[in-house]
Amino acid sequence: MKSISISPRPIFPLILPQLEHRYKISRLNHCLPLLHLDGAGRSLLLMASLNNHNHNHNHHFRHADSNASPPSSAVAKISHLKAVVLGDAPASEEDDVVLPSHDFSRQALVPSQQKYLEMYKASIENPAGFWSGIASSEFYWKQRWGDQVYSENLDVRRGNIKIEWFKGGITNVCHNCLDRNIDAGLADKIALYWESNEPGFDATLTYSQLLQRVCQLANYLKSVGVRKGDAVVVYLPMLMELPITMLACARIGAVHSVVFAGFSSESLAQRIVDCKPKVVITCNAVKRGPKTVFLKDIVDAALIDSANKGISVDVCLTYENQLALKREKTKWKEGRDIWWEDVVPKYPTSCDVEWVDAEDPLFLLYTSGSTGKPKGVLHTTGGYMVYTATTFKYAFDYKDSDVYWCTADCGWITGHSYVTYGPMLNGATVLLYEGAPSYPDPGRCWDIVDKYKVTIFYTAPTLVRSLMRDGDKYVTRYSRKSLRVLGSVGEPINPSAWRWFFNVVGGSRCPISDTWWQTETGGFMITPLPGAWPQKPGSATFPFFGVQPVIVDEKGVELDGECSGYLCVKSSWPGAFRTLYGDHERYETTYFKPFPGYYFTGDGCSRDKDGYHWLTGRVDDVINVSGHRIGTAEVESALVSHPQCAEAAVVGVEHQVKGQGIYAFVTPVEGISYSEELRKSLILTVRTQIGAFAAPDKIHWAPALPKTRSGKIMRRILRKIAARQLDELGDTSTLADPGVVDQLIKLADT
């Protein structure tokens, strides 16, 4: 493989002071500075405009000597970096960036850095024009909004926080997801593929069939008294009935609140009491791998609990999930409980749309709060619709022929924005998978990819690392040739997992959209655009259109250039949440008071010399060791780079000398035994990669980590185990395997 070096001039010297801080990027309408590549005495130029199709070497490089051309497998040093071109070779630890190939960029919606910069400039300098242009051209509005596209106040010093987009515009999200696509000729296109937990059981719905099912449920909900603005709590697994329910609520203007069907009855009751729903929708049971989870029993307990707290629900609509449990074995309360199959199919397959204002509520989604009380994040209709559809389209470079699979559950924001609404607003074909990703073996994901010819695969780093631990053999025995774009969501993905995902799963030919966003943001905020930017493994790269991220210090002063600090956003974007349900004061205190004038994300972020953003995790996951602020994600990334470490989770513990110490839970690779030698080697790896100040004070061996059924590590439990506060572990019912906690406690002094 030929090595090509470049002079040590930063690749994006203009981006730092302009794109990242002041967002005045008009000077970037030209190609980025020429970069000199030394290859056998020849000079090459890397152009920002990757859609100039008259160059050699996959059209990324132009030769000063037109008689010579480097091989397509050449690895270039860009500035101080090394690079590999998408599809040319695997990304190694020596490769700092992965360049999009000419073939991919040529067909991409955003084919170059130049195009991105043009669109980004337009979105920042004229957000009203940028977003109203998209809203007008790509969505149906019964009535257009007035002269003012948006209004905002993000500064608590100037009064109440307020964000509005397209207010006065009348629309409906369900109509735009279904009716509009059917009118455009997509009636017979597959809207949903459904794959059961048990191999061999599946189902499909076309867009016209989906609309009929949605209308039947919408008509039923109206018949039991659900009206515009009423709440409906949804406690369903990943059956097709889950997006059907969400869309049915949206059709009649009801506000759905989906609760992940893994939360305990206490957690469910807490949400019922808060939003006071007219109806609760669930199913009797679900299979997760070989285990049966009796959801109806959990709902029954929650309804008793909420009734004792003064909130009674008169209707519990229950779907019979026959593969998990027959109805005759389901506990039942006459007069309240109703079988879905007995009533919903009897209703008409057409239902009038309830037209709503853009600022009318669409859904409530509860997210964890530092006080223990969940926060009811409220998203409204118009801005969320426009933003989720647009982010989905560009971040995944969506094509009409794509088959899209997001492994997230609709109980989380990812399932709202990027299983249901974002994809269907684009008329996409979406795959739903009911079961566990490693059932009946760790090859199940790739079996599903091949079965449905999945082209876009979007998942969490936790799942990537878990599958990585099981070895390449479960991946490589499947073709996966249909894959075109990969995606990562939920937490920062460490570079070693990124490379495995890229090299093994994607065969070194699929770009990874490593997305950063939050329940509160509604959609992607910082993300690669697959055909435009060179990717650095582990970096979320640059902001999406209309997003102005800034990094500030503890005093709220914006930092320029290479820096680390608190990630904030200035100015609003259409997908932003509008309030916390019933607690606007908490909304302002949590998100806007810490740094007046900004939306405070709660996350830490670093920006490198090339302008790339690196998320370092929640700031409450930052450990202050002897005055050094150390992100837990940074230490975890160093640990999992060790060849014998499959997974790691780091928390802070009290330390008499340092203030806080670093406590690391480590899961070795399959077949590797716990040993003092491995412990020392892991600590040395962290010392080498980060510094002696970041070396873990304790390595706690972990056969597995406590995770929710969606794959999220429960760090709250790890903190209690590390602090030996074993009587304060709290609710462990949402864990995929509660037995893991006992294993960790037994190994505490090993």
Alpha-carbon dihedral sign for residues 405, 408, 411, 415: negative
* Active-site residue (options: 183, 553, 620, 742): 620
Q: Which residue has the tokens 């090859």?
A: 443
Q: How far apart, in whole angstroms, are the C-alpha atoms of residue 715 and residue 498? A: 22
Give the residues across from 282 on adjacent strands: 235, 318
Q: How far apart, in whole angstroms, are the C-alpha atoms of residue 632 and residue 621? A: 6
Q: Which amino acid is at 263?
A: F
Q: How far apart, in whole angstroms, are the C-alpha atoms of residue 653 and residue 664? A: 10
Q: How far apart, in whole angstroms, are the C-alpha atoms of residue 69 and residue 518? A: 45
User: Strand, helix or coil at 398?
Assistant: coil
Buried-exposed string 298-307: b where 16+ CB fall within 10 A, e elsewhere: bbbebbebbe
27 neighbors 43 (Cβ within 8 angstroms)? no
Strands 563-569 vs 549-552: parallel, antiparallel or unpaired: antiparallel
Q: How far apart, in whole angstroms, are the C-alpha atoms of residue 340 and residue 325? A: 14
Strands 291-293 vs 286-288: parallel, antiparallel or unpaired: antiparallel
Verify whether residue 620 is a known catalytic residue. Answer: yes
Considering only CA atoms, which of 233, 184, 232, 181 is closest in space to residue 211?
Answer: 181
Q: Which residue has the tokens 């040395």?
A: 684
Q: Which residue has the tokens 């699979």?
A: 405
User: How many CB atoms are located within 10 Å of the residue 8 CB?
Assistant: 9
| Cβ partners under 8 Å of residue 534, min gap 6 | 11, 78, 83, 97, 98, 99, 100
Catalytic residue annotation: 620
